[in-house]
Amino acid sequence: MNRMNNPEPIPEELLSALLDGELNDAEVEQVNRALANDANLRVTFEELKQLRGELRSLPRHSLSVDFAERVTAACRDVEQSPQDGGRAVELAPASLSAAPVADTPRAVGRSNRLRMIMAVGAMAATILIGLFAINAGRPDLSVAINDADIDPSSAEQKSGTSELAAPADGFAADELAADDIAARNVPELDTMALDVPAQRQEFSLAAEESLVEESRNGVALAEAADAPVPSTPVPGTPVLRFDGGVPEAAVAYDAASLPNTIDPTVAANALDAGVDLADGVQQLEPLATRGGEYDVVVRLVATESERLQLASVASLASTSPPNADFNSAVSFRFFESTPRSAEAEVLQDAGVEKPVDAAAPEMRVIEGTAAEIATIFASLNLQPVSTGSPNQNQLAALGIVEPPAMRAKRGVARESLARGAASASPARTANMYAIQPSQSPRPNASVTPSIVANVPASRAQSAVPPTSSADDPKIASATLNQSVPQPQSAMRRYQSEDDVTIATSPASSNAADASRNLSKATQSSAGDATQRSRIAQRRFGVDKESAESGTPGVSGFGGAAPADRRYRILLLIQPAE
């Protein structure tokens, strides 16, 4: 074939690249050949060239001569952020975040806005975990962890473990004692956030014997201490970033009052660390209902399997019945470039029809209560991870999952849990979380909803238990409260924010089995309720009084979050290399 007469077609974007001098020699030659043989291509190239020239010839303007002086004058009244907030999260400028639209800077004169900005500049840096605890002290736990599918007869199952941060029956007494100490000494997280040095000292007292506390605070302290953040995240390394802040006084979900920005400096700093929040926000804009404000931005580098699992959970959540709140708990922007799938159909239903850029970070907006978000986060924990995995550490710091170090202690227990899970729940759908319906609170009983994590169906159906840690189920679950009465019904649909179910019809019968097995398991270990609730209290920031009084709820966010408090989280999920 005469290649000169029949040059292979080229992607048109090469024309732009040629224009920009971004092609290598071979590509230049290829494009030139194509141009020589295609008049239409030449026309397009000339059009692009002309357009480029026009853009570059746009009139250049200058600001007024006194602009710099005015800015400098304003700067003199602005306190710079403290040094230790190098990577700390800043509360958003009040003018940009807390005020309803009507009070945004636009409605304020320029001088007032400058004053607002100056005032904001004097605000102390906050630590990301603290934002979740803004409403600490409120009642109502919304999610807890149940021991699921643990063979009650197995002695080993007493040290049940859970990817979802199960307390272990097998905690040594001294560890429990340490937990108690830590729990008693844990300050309210909303006060933690405001004073990093004090927080560090405080936690040094409480956390030295508690791996959980260390890991929970590790993120916050590391952030506050301006710990170096790799510019190129290694697989599994999350970069938790805060957004511009949530109004501290936010009481209830109120779209009008939610901030509408990501703190630009936070975004800029994130960019330094290789995380582009603004781009993520931009790409989410078509789906964003309230602009780009997030309680937290979590960037994860996830394996393909993890991404798919998250997509699966997200899809299930979005197709779940009909609680509008939960259906809005997950919105998603991109999926892998797979053939049309259920996820893609859901995207289309959401009015999103964009080409999938497999190389782009996958972004998900998670919006929901702590319970719902904990469920989603738990789905990121489906792969067995080695002790000390950054993902695990970070998520453990949020109180969502058990710290890996703790989990490592229960390596043997994990196997037994897997055996129990496998035998107890045949044919469960992989990667599906079934959350038991919550029970009505009873006096003096901590009745909590539970998250039951399923094991992959293949393992579930197998009568042969896993024999090595590598075969551990992706997910296990544990109960915190052993006084949960046996659920009367099969997996129920989501009814309220305290009663969350992610289920699909094919799994409902299996979920019912799981539910029944769960109850059986929970009832059998009633004696550990006190220990579990104590650990849950420390781990999840459960208010001790509320836990003991029967008010359920665990935030999973390091603080006692109210059940109705809605969070908004941006997940940036970068494919692992």
Partner 1 sequence: MTDDSLNQDQRWVEEALAGKVESFEMLVRRHQDRLFNTMVCVTGCVHEAEEVVQDAMLQAYSKLTTFQGKSQFYTWLYRIAFNLSVSRNRKKRPRVSLEQAQDDHGLDPLDEGERPDASMERSERAQQLYQALNQLSEEYRSVLVLREMEDFDYETISSMLDIPVGTVRSRLHRARTMLRDQLRESIGEPGPASS
Among 10, 28, 78, 350, binds partner 1 (CB under 8 A): 78
Residues in 289-348 that interact with partner 1 by CB under 8 A: 291-292
Among 67, 412, 442, 527, binds partner 1 (CB under 8 A): 67
Residue 56 Cβ, how far from partner 1 at the closest point, in Å? 6
Of 105-113, 160-168, 190-198, 407-415, which part binds partner 1 (CB under 8 A)?
Answer: 105-113
| Matching residue, tokens 């196997």 | 415
Residue 575: φ, ψ to 5°: -60, 140
User: Is 489 in contact with 420 (CB distance < 8 Å)?
Assistant: no
Residues in 430-489 that interact with partner 1 by CB under 8 A: none
Residue 322 Cβ, how far from partner 1 at the closest point, in Å? 30
Residue 195 Cβ, how far from partner 1 at the closest point, in Å? 17
254 sits near partner 1 (criterion: CB under 8 A):
no
Report the run of H or E that residue 478 belongs to, with start and end.
Answer: strand 478-479
Task: Report d(CA 373, CA 561) in Å as an integer.
Answer: 12
* Chain-centre distance for alpha carbon 187: 24
Q: Which is nearer to partner 1, 277 or 417 (CB)?
A: 277
Among 106, 340, 505, 577, binds partner 1 (CB under 8 A): 106
CA 499 to each of CA 116, 156, 312, 450, 508: distance values in angstroms, whole numbers, following the listed order: 42, 30, 20, 9, 16
Residue 257 Cβ, how far from partner 1 at the closest point, in Å? 14
63 sits near partner 1 (criterion: CB under 8 A):
yes
Instruction: Name, in order, each residue with C-beta under 8 angstroms of 130's C-beta and a sequence gap of 6 or more.
Output: 189, 190, 192, 193, 194, 220
Q: Which is nearer to partner 1, 226 or 349 (CB)?
A: 226
Residue 139 Cβ, how far from partner 1 at the closest point, in Å? 34
User: Is 293 in contact with 259 (CB distance < 8 Å)?
Assistant: yes
Residues in 384-403 that interact with partner 1 by CB under 8 A: none
Q: 351-390 mask for partner 1 (x: CB under 8 A)?
A: ------x-xxx-----------------------------
Residues in 159-178 that interact with partner 1 by CB under 8 A: none
Q: 255-294 mask for partner 1 (x: CB under 8 A)?
A: -----xxx-xx-xxx-xxxxxxxxx-xxx-x-----xx--
- Applying CB under 8 A, the site for partner 1 has a residue count of 84
Among 10, 48, 350, 490, binds partner 1 (CB under 8 A): 48
44 sits near partner 1 (criterion: CB under 8 A):
yes
Of 42-50, 170-178, 182-190, 467-475, which part binds partner 1 (CB under 8 A)?
Answer: 42-50
Of 93-101, 386-394, 526-534, 540-548, which part binds partner 1 (CB under 8 A)?
Answer: 93-101
Instruction: Name, in order, each residue with C-beta under 8 angstroms of 575's C-beta and a sequence gap of 6 or more.
Output: 301, 302, 303, 304, 307, 358, 359, 362
Task: Report d(CA 269, CA 533) in Å as an integer.
Answer: 39
User: Is 364 in contact with 333 (CB distance < 8 Å)?
Assistant: yes
Q: 15-34 mask for partner 1 (x: CB under 8 A)?
A: xxx--x-x------------
Of 8-16, 455-463, 469-477, 506-514, which part binds partner 1 (CB under 8 A)?
Answer: 8-16
CA 76 to each of CA 63, 79, 118: distance values in angstroms, whole numbers, following the listed order: 20, 8, 9
Residue 282 Cβ, how far from partner 1 at the closest point, in Å? 4
CA dihedral of 84, 86, 88, 91, whole degrees rounded to 10? 100
First to last CA, the chain: 39
CA 208 to each of CA 31, 185, 186, 393, 552: distance values in angstroms, whole numbers, following the listed order: 64, 11, 12, 16, 28
Q: Which of 130, 103, 122, 142 is nearest to 295 (CA)?
A: 130
Residues in 115-144 that interact with partner 1 by CB under 8 A: 117-118, 120-121
